[in-house]
């Protein structure tokens, strides 16, 4: 049996509440810090497969390479 790496894309929608004096100000505030506001609802509308390849069909990728600097040795 083979292992495949599949790259997917999804369209996620979410609802935030922003206090502001105008729609433009609300947009600016949300754009500056989208994660700073509570998410009231979130859902995935659609998703699709963008690419697929057999895992052994390519050489090492970033997911297979361990960091060589800034890593503490186990004691």
Domain boundaries, the chain: 4-57
Provide the pLDDT confidence category of residue 25 given band limits of 50, 70 and 90. very high
At residue 2, the pLDDT reads 87
Q: Does the pTM of the predicted model rise above 0.75?
A: no
Partnered with residue 28 across adjacent β-strands are none
Report how far apart, in Å, the C-alpha atoms of 65 and of each of 6, 11, 12 are.
19, 30, 30
Dihedral (CA of 15, 18, 21, 24) sign: negative
The answer to whether residue 20 scores a pLDDT higher than 60 is yes
Provide the pLDDT confidence category of residue 64 given band limits of 50, 70 and 90. low
């Amino acid at each position: 049996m083979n292992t495949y790496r599949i790259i997917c894309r999804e369209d996620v929608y979410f609802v935030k509440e922003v206090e502001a004096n105008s729609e433009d100000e609300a947009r600016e505030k949300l754009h500056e810090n989208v994660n700073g506001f509570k998410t009231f609802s979130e859902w995935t509308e659609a998703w699709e497969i963008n690419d697929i390849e057999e895992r052994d069909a390519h050489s090492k990728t970033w997911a297979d390479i361990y960091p060589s600097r800034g890593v503490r040795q186990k004691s």
